[in-house]
Chain A
Amino acid sequence: MAEVGGQNVIEELLEAYPEKARKERKKHFEINDIEKISTGKCSIKSNVKSRPGVMTVRGCAYAGSKGVVWGPIKDMVHISHGPVGCGQYSWGTRRNYSNGVLGVNNFVAMQVTSDFQERDIVFGGDKKLEKVCREIKEMFPLAKGITIQSECPIGLIGDDIEAVAKKMTKELGIPVVPVRCEGFRGVSQSLGHHIANDSIRDHVLGTRDLNEPGPYDVAIIGDYNIGGDAWAARILLEEMGLRVIAQWSGDGTLNELAITHKAKLNLIHCYRSMNYIARHMEEKYGIPWMEYNFFGPTKTIESLRKIAAFFDDQIQEQAERVIAKYKPEMDAVIEKYRPRLEGKKVMLLVGGLRPRHTVGAYEDLGMEVVGTGYEFAHKDDYERTYKELKEGAVIYDDPSEYDLEYLAKALGVDLVGSGIKEKYVFQKMGLPFRQMHSWDYSGPYHGFDGFKVFARDMDIAMNSPVWNLMQVPF
């Protein structure tokens, strides 16, 4: 096992585990080295079941589908189909910003549920579901469609939501999409992303046409518009002369999903949650796709050039103009904040893309990511991660709260970036913390406008005078 600062941290960390769990968990830690940086090859174990009783940070397939992928589609009503809890806990908490009038033509920040009771479990919920769909049509006349987000009991009691969806699509004249995202499926949110992608593929994609397609039509894939991220990204793409015909799925609409097969290029930000649909469009419609990273000026500039290179001279020139326009502003941000953040050590644990995508943004501010990991990544995510990191960085998969606490102390980190469940543990320890799922209700963080907010927020976290009050003087 690898060593950090002459200390065998991983071995020590694992000592608290019972033997079986220790053996399993050991495979989920690695230390970055020169070979991994150059090849991206790693043997870290990922996308397998969490150990029972270990406080995993992970969620479930429903969270991946309703919470991440489908939920932000604003002009459709998403039924949390089953008992009341799942919908309640995911209500409005991911900050997927969207324009529109709530309850009228925008349904993102609403909790719509079939609120299963015991009789629904006993007799099945299909009849109720039909009625729910009809009542949605009546309550929300401008809803463009409905999705059925299955919670755990739906699959267990064998409800035929596909048949209900088919019948209701016909009867109501709007697409009703069944999504088999029951929470017990798979090992994390990740399967929910995949299932949601598949349901878009099967029920929506390619069902409508784009008026007057153009040579520069692109789609943003895998940006959930947290605090307006997709808007801050979109504006740059438009400024360099591209036409963004769809946003998946932050501030997205049914129509945008349905016409995306007409894009000339799919631009993927969160690779983990939406590579499936990009691959599908490549296979079926021959649409190429490209990953990009809009965190921090270095990566944003790199990405703008990479995207422009796909198009002609005109786009490339405009991309350079965009870069030149924002560069002084970015330099000023760095000039202001870098001296305040230089040399600080960061530890991350987030979902889809941020454990690797934000590394560059921290480096732009002179900070170093010394530990990073994912809740629900697969092998291909890790292969993309090692080369972003310095030698000696600790990489961990599905770490428990115990692991994170241990590592934060052992690595002597100055800032932790993770989610709400972890936040207060570290703040009690006197460690600055930023929520890297919801930007601590701030944002945007994407693009040039987003970097300004990111830099400000990291400074707020790191340099608050409140941290000096932790030690009692008496």
Chain B
Amino acid sequence: MAKNVEIKDHNTLFQSEEYMKSAEKKMEFEAPCSLEEVEDTAAYLKTEEYKEKNFAREALTINPAKACQPLGAVLAALGFEKTLPFVHGSQGCVAYFRSHFARHFKEPVPTVSTSMTEDAAVFGGLRNLIEGLENAVSLYKPDMVAVSTTCMAEVIGDDLQAFIETARNEGAISKSFPVPFANTPSFVGSHIVGYDSMMKSILSYLNGREGDGEKMAAEAAEKINVIPGFEPYTGNIREAKRILDLMDVRYTILGDHSDMLDSPANGEYRTYYGGTKLSDAAYASRGKGTIALQKYSTRKTAKYIEENWGHPFIAGPIPIGIRNTDALLMRISELTGKPIPQSLKDERGRVVDAMTDSHPYLQGKRVAMAGDPDLLLGLISLSLELGIEPVHILCTNGDKEFEEEAQRLLAESPYGLDGKVYVGKDLWHLRSLLLTDPVDFAIGSTFLKFAAKDANIPLVRVGFPIFDRHHMHRYPIIGYQGTLNLLSLMVNMVLERLDEEAPGHSFDVVR
């Protein structure tokens, strides 16, 4: 290689003297606030007085920890074999869904749009839907297209059922080509509701669709179904499958996007990887029972299954932590009659052993957390098992039921006494809480990094989306293994911080 060239990039380049000078010169034209004003305001933003005003706001949302419905619908669709998510509305939404997932999973996300524009706003999107189905099926050759809506299609009131029927009559798709659909207005609920709506739609659409194949039915009768819920961790789905295999249980994962969003690099790209077989989904109702690993992201699906499938249905709690995982294993055992094998008992023991090793560094640590309802319930449960004190629990897309469940959970442990649950609040609220009532660390998505930085506390990245760390989603956070992963993340973050802050005399070699 030729002689070395010094290359500074954005991290260091703009700290050099010439760039600092240039920035200073620029201020002449910025009409900036005075340094004093900025400092005073920055200080004011940390006060109790500001917090009160912050909590008094009624209309303004700042840094919410939620996304919109159709995003969740796309994730649900990606869990089925050769299924193309198809979003009816303006195309920008799909560009955003694809980017958002691609940034989190670092994977391609095939999804199409009906690209509605002004004329569709006036005349409706029927022609877009018909041509869209025809084009998408020709180009991407799916076995199923799962249609969801954006706020645009919802506001103008497009009738998907009638539109899809018309598309069939006009020959854009065959009479039998499966096109489940869900109404997923962005101005109702959040991404977890969209996931739920699409999951329910796909399951009810496919149910019994393959006709009465006796062999299939007999096979299905030996199985249980597992619904992951809005699952940003491909590792969690793989972990659920590993546990079921260890228990010698036959199963169908309903909505398995683990291969789709964690596919191998081998020099060839395929549009579709893995996913739940449509025929398995069609016979799922014949199974021994269904377990949803999350409760709040599968409510409509739960209602549908409970009312129509005539077999036991259990939802949540998400198996994060020892007790929640124990509960799941016992339920699987009850449902299938299969004993919990020694290998899982040993695994449990090893994780409990790890927890005993680490607990002195975690017990009594005060934590703030933000995320989806099911995830938070799991994190609270694990925290209490370790003696970590959950103090601020923020759930932008939580409701009354979640709030009550979280409060009940906190009340079960002395470590939960300081815990307060904030539903419908955003990360700017959480920022005020972190600054007025400090904690030791925070747990949440990448978007929480701003508030954590302002509060000078470390952030353990858990949940969705995680854009700024690699491969987190590949490691499970459910089951005993997942619990071990979370434990390692937390304790090693605490130890890292301890080293950073230790004066020379306490810079210990052994921790």
| A residues in contact (CB < 8 Å) with B | 16-18, 20-21, 49-63, 75, 82-86, 88-91, 93, 97, 99, 101-105, 109-118, 120-121, 128-129, 131-132, 135-136, 138-139, 141-142, 144, 151-153, 155-157, 183-187, 189, 208, 210, 227-228, 231-232, 234-235, 238, 244-247, 251, 253-256, 259, 329, 332-333, 335-336, 339-340, 400-402, 405, 419-430, 442-444, 449, 452-453, 456, 470-472
- Of the A-B pairs whose beta carbons lie under 8 Å apart in the complex, a sample of 25, sorted by A's number, is A52-B128, A83-B68, A84-B61, A101-B38, A105-B32, A105-B33, A105-B41, A139-B428, A152-B89, A152-B152, A153-B151, A184-B117, A185-B117, A228-B10, A235-B22, A332-B3, A336-B5, A402-B140, A421-B99, A421-B108, A428-B269, A443-B9, A453-B9, A456-B7, A470-B267
Closest to A141 in B: B41
Quick one: given A59-B92, A132-B60, are A185 and B118 in contact (CB under 8 Å)?
yes
**Residue of B60, B61, B63, B71 most packed against chain A (CB within 10 A):** B60
Taking a contact as CB atoms under 8 Å apart, the answer to whether A332 and B120 are in contact is no
Q: Per-position contact with A for B4-35: 1 when CB-CB < 8 Å, else 0?
A: 11011110011000110011011001111100
Taking a contact as CB atoms under 8 Å apart, the answer to whether B131 and A83 are in contact is no
| A53 touches which of B90, B134, B264 (Cβ 8 Å) | B134
Quick one: given A187-B117, A336-B5, A428-B268, are A101 and B42 in contact (CB under 8 Å)?
yes
Taking a contact as CB atoms under 8 Å apart, the answer to whether A231 and B60 are in contact is no
Taking a contact as CB atoms under 8 Å apart, the answer to whether B95 and A17 are in contact is no
Taking a contact as CB atoms under 8 Å apart, the answer to whether B33 and A52 are in contact is no
| A59 touches which of B61, B86, B96 (Cβ 8 Å) | B96
Taking a contact as CB atoms under 8 Å apart, the answer to whether A51 and B155 are in contact is no
Q: Per-position contact with A for B81-125: 1 when CB-CB < 8 Å, else 0?
A: 000001001111101111110110011111111111110110000
Taking a contact as CB atoms under 8 Å apart, the answer to whether A421 and B59 are in contact is no
CA distance A332 to B110 in the complex (A): 42
Q: Does residue B66 face the partner (Cβ distance < 8 Å to A)? A: yes
Taking a contact as CB atoms under 8 Å apart, the answer to whether A18 and B121 are in contact is no
Taking a contact as CB atoms under 8 Å apart, the answer to whether B5 and A452 are in contact is yes
CA distance A49 to B133 in the complex (A): 16
**Residues of the A chain whose Cβ atoms lie less than 8 Å from the Cβ of B186:** 82-85, 116
Closest to B139 in A: A402
Closest to A408 in B: B269
Taking a contact as CB atoms under 8 Å apart, the answer to whether A85 and B19 are in contact is no
Q: Interface size of B by Cβ–Cβ distance < 8 Å? A: 107
CA distance A82 to B68 in the complex (A): 11
Taking a contact as CB atoms under 8 Å apart, the answer to whether B99 and A114 are in contact is no
**Residue of A118, A142, A245, A255 most packed against chain B (CB within 10 A):** A142
CB distance from A448 to the nearest CB of B (A): 11
Quick one: given A128-B59, A131-B59, are A18 and B19 in contact (CB under 8 Å)?
no
| B269 touches which of A118, A244, A425 (Cβ 8 Å) | A425
A152-B152, A185-B117 known; 5 new pairs, CB 8 Å cut-off, are A51-B115, A111-B62, A138-B53, A183-B92, A227-B10
Taking a contact as CB atoms under 8 Å apart, the answer to whether B30 and A75 are in contact is yes
CA distance A430 to B268 in the complex (A): 7
Q: Does residue B57 face the partner (Cβ distance < 8 Å to A)? A: yes
Q: Per-position contact with A for B232-271: 1 when CB-CB < 8 Å, else 0?
A: 0000000000000000000000000000000111111100
**Residues of the B chain whose Cβ atoms lie less than 8 Å from the Cβ of A405:** 269
Q: Does residue B64 face the partner (Cβ distance < 8 Å to A)? A: yes
CA distance A138 to B41 in the complex (A): 11
Closest to B263 in A: A428
CB distance from A474 to the nearest CB of B (A): 12
CA distance A405 to B270 in the complex (A): 11
**Residues of the A chain whose Cβ atoms lie less than 8 Å from the Cβ of B107:** 424
**Residues of the A chain whose Cβ atoms lie less than 8 Å from the Cβ of B44:** 141
CA distance A114 to B4 in the complex (A): 52
Taking a contact as CB atoms under 8 Å apart, the answer to whether B7 and A53 are in contact is no
Quick one: given A235-B22, A246-B29, A402-B140, are A421 and B41 in contact (CB under 8 Å)?
no
Taking a contact as CB atoms under 8 Å apart, the answer to whether B134 and A18 are in contact is yes
| B187 touches which of A121, A227, A231, A419 (Cβ 8 Å) | A121
Interface positions of B from 330 to 356, Cβ below 8 Å from A: none
**Residue of A18, A61, A244, A471 most packed against chain B (CB within 10 A):** A18
Q: Does residue B58 face the partner (Cβ distance < 8 Å to A)? A: yes
Closest to A212 in B: B28
CB distance from B5 to the nearest CB of A (A): 5
CB distance from A87 to the nearest CB of B (A): 8
Closest to B60 in A: A135
| B57 touches which of A55, A139, A427 (Cβ 8 Å) | A139
Closest to B397 in A: A84
**Residues of the A chain whose Cβ atoms lie less than 8 Å from the Cβ of B137:** 53
Closest to B8 in A: A449
**Residues of the A chain whose Cβ atoms lie less than 8 Å from the Cβ of B54:** 139
CA distance A111 to B450 in the complex (A): 12
**Residues of the B chain whose Cβ atoms lie less than 8 Å from the Cβ of A52:** 113-116, 128-129, 131-132, 135
Taking a contact as CB atoms under 8 Å apart, the answer to whether A53 and B60 are in contact is no
Taking a contact as CB atoms under 8 Å apart, the answer to whether B188 and A118 are in contact is yes
Interface positions of B from 300 to 329, Cβ below 8 Å from A: none
Quick one: given A53-B136, A151-B151, A231-B23, are A429 and B110 in contact (CB under 8 Å)?
no
Interface positions of B from 431 to 447, Cβ below 8 Å from A: 431, 447
**Residues of the B chain whose Cβ atoms lie less than 8 Å from the Cβ of A144:** 31
Taking a contact as CB atoms under 8 Å apart, the answer to whether A135 and B135 are in contact is no
Quick one: given A52-B115, A91-B447, A121-B155, are A420 and B90 in contact (CB under 8 Å)?
no
Taking a contact as CB atoms under 8 Å apart, the answer to whether B45 and A444 are in contact is no
Taking a contact as CB atoms under 8 Å apart, the answer to whether B90 and A60 are in contact is yes
Quick one: given A85-B68, A101-B42, A329-B5, are A183 and B152 in contact (CB under 8 Å)?
yes
**Residues of the B chain whose Cβ atoms lie less than 8 Å from the Cβ of A423:** 102, 108
Taking a contact as CB atoms under 8 Å apart, the answer to whether B22 and A238 are in contact is yes
Closest to B37 in A: A142
Taking a contact as CB atoms under 8 Å apart, the answer to whether A444 and B13 are in contact is yes
The 7 A-B residue pairs with the shortest CB-CB distance in the complex, in nearest-first order: A60-B92, A85-B68, A53-B132, A52-B132, A89-B96, A53-B135, A53-B136
CA distance A75 to B187 in the complex (A): 28
Taking a contact as CB atoms under 8 Å apart, the answer to whether B92 and A54 are in contact is no
CA distance A180 to B151 in the complex (A): 16
CB distance from A176 to the nearest CB of B (A): 14
Taking a contact as CB atoms under 8 Å apart, the answer to whether B135 and A231 are in contact is no
Q: Does residue B138 face the partner (Cβ distance < 8 Å to A)? A: yes
Taking a contact as CB atoms under 8 Å apart, the answer to whether B63 and A111 are in contact is yes
Q: Does residue B225 face the partner (Cβ distance < 8 Å to A)? A: no
Closest to B427 in A: A111
CA distance A235 to B66 in the complex (A): 40
**Residues of the A chain whose Cβ atoms lie less than 8 Å from the Cβ of B298:** none
**Residues of the B chain whose Cβ atoms lie less than 8 Å from the Cβ of A428:** 108, 263-269
CA distance A85 to B188 in the complex (A): 11
CA distance A268 to B394 in the complex (A): 45
Taking a contact as CB atoms under 8 Å apart, the answer to whether A112 and B60 are in contact is yes
**Residues of the B chain whose Cβ atoms lie less than 8 Å from the Cβ of A422:** 108
